[in-house]
Amino acid sequence: MKFYSLNKQSAAVDFATACILGQAPDKGLYFPEVIPQVSKELIDNIENYSNEAIALQVITPYIGDKIPKKELERIVNETVNFAFPLLKISESIYSLELFHGPTLAFKDVGARFMSQCLGYFAKGNNEKVTVLVATSGDTGGAVAHGFYDVEGVDVVILYPSGKVSNVQEKQLTTLGKNIYALEVDGTFDECQQMVKAAFADSALNKKMKLTSANSINVARWLPQQFYYFYLWKQWKDKNNPPVVAVPSGNFGNICAGLLARQSGLPIKHFIAACNTNDTVPQFLNTGNYHPKKAIATLSNAMDVGDPSNFVRVLQLFDRQNELLKKSMSGYSVSDEETKATLVSVLKENKYLLDPHGAVAYKALYDHLAIFPADKGIILETAHPIKFFDKIEPLIGQPVEVPEKIAMMMNKEKFSTKISADVNCLFDFLTAK
């Protein structure tokens, strides 16, 4: 399998090179030259396969011979060694819980897979790799834990000061060792722009080997397909595939779902569930793409005004907007609607959503009002405890605290404060 740059000014590369580089030399995102088709046997008999076997079959065509089979099996087994339960909320809406991993967020899968791949590629290489990543919330913690103490790899995480939850901040600032947290006086989009500027700086890249752990990296993006196969495995009504609502910020997750669908997975329709940062819903409605400055919301991990992965979504449909709209709808949900949904679902259905899941629930609920014969699934991407300080005043009761979170909240925070200036980032990287 080869991966080409969507800017089409760089040579195609194999998986190992795409993983190590993160972004192509021409600053484009890597995209597979061919979308492999999963076997009909897997789709028709998926209940008979373990999660590990499903993941291995899905990811192997993208890796090729760049990782030996036994090593890839080990990586996959370590990536998905926790539960992905599908729970019924109402007669027409189900929740696929993706928060049972080590950092209680869906990004554990991509971060763990990428860290293991990069660790494998770094073996025997005397040059240390620096993973540079911007986070609007959950990416930081997942990447920090995934790469913690991985030999030959340092991790530098940029996050917007005061714009991630207390739990999210603790998860990315309390590890130490090879994990460095930069608290940026700015927005996520500014953090992301600084990261992109670092990758674009030829002088900096001559001094150090940089790669990305955001979902722009194929090793972070591609394994997110696993979720969609796991929901199909648990979906009872195989004759009526579900509509799937995905909380969407940087659009890596839903793009992976659309990729899985084009690989042969039966998903009826996708919903890009966005908060007030509605760049993509507006595009789907008007055909005009206008990036905006990110607005801070209750569902902070989705506060992205110019989603990096949307160019991949467009590529999946050969940039034909009408084809895209047949497969994906976009909904924008306000903070007030998010709060009301969170409270009403707990009261009526005894199910506690996190703010991102609440955005997905509201979007799916509104969609099913138009298409009442359909049933759907939301991706519940984070444990509610990660937003306890926002949720508890709404529901008037405490959110149950998992033991791993209780232990972490008492740890000391270590971060370096910098302004939203790329030169501050360059100074830190070259002095590290």
User: By C-alpha distance, which of 15, 38, 12 is closest to 25?
Assistant: 12
The domain locations on the chain are 83-105+221-402
- The DSSP annotation for 189-256 comes to HHHHHHHHHHHH-HHHHHHSEEEE-STTSHHHHGGGGHHHHHHHHH-S-TTSPPEEEEE-SSSHHHHH
Angle, CA 249 vertex, CA 407 and CA 197 arms, to 5°? 95
Of the listed 107, 163, 339, 390, which one is catalytic? 107
Active site residue 326: no
- Provide the edge-to-edge strand list for the sheet that holds 416-419: 209-212, 129-134, 153-160, 179-185, 416-419
pLDDT in 10s for each residue of the chain, 432 residues: 999 999 999 999 999 999 988 889 998 999 999 999 999 999 999 999 999 999 999 999 999 999 999 999 999 999 999 999 999 999 999 999 999 998 899 999 999 999 999 888 887 677 788 999 998 777 888 889 888 988 888 999 999 999 888 888 998 999 999 999 999 999 888 998 999 899 888 899 888 988 888 788 999 999 999 999 999 999 999 999 999 999 999 999 999 999 999 999 999 999 999 999 999 999 999 999 999 888 989 998 899 999 999 999 999 999 999 999 999 999 999 999 999 999 999 999 999 999 999 999 999 999 999 999 999 999 999 999 989 999 999 999 999 988 878 888 888 899 999 999 999 999 999 987
Closest residue by Cα to residue 347 from 392, 391, 390, 395: 395
Q: What pLDDT is recorded for position 124?
A: 64
How far apart are the C-alpha atoms of 213 and 219, rounded to whole Å?
A: 8
CATH level 2 (architecture), domain 83-105+221-402: 3-Layer(aba) Sandwich (3.40)
**In terms of pTM, does the model score above 0.85?**
yes
Neighbour-count burial of 147, counting CB atoms closer than 10 A to its CB (0-12 exposed, 13-18 middle, 19+ buried)? buried
Nearest-angstrom CA–CA distance, 398 and 391 = 8
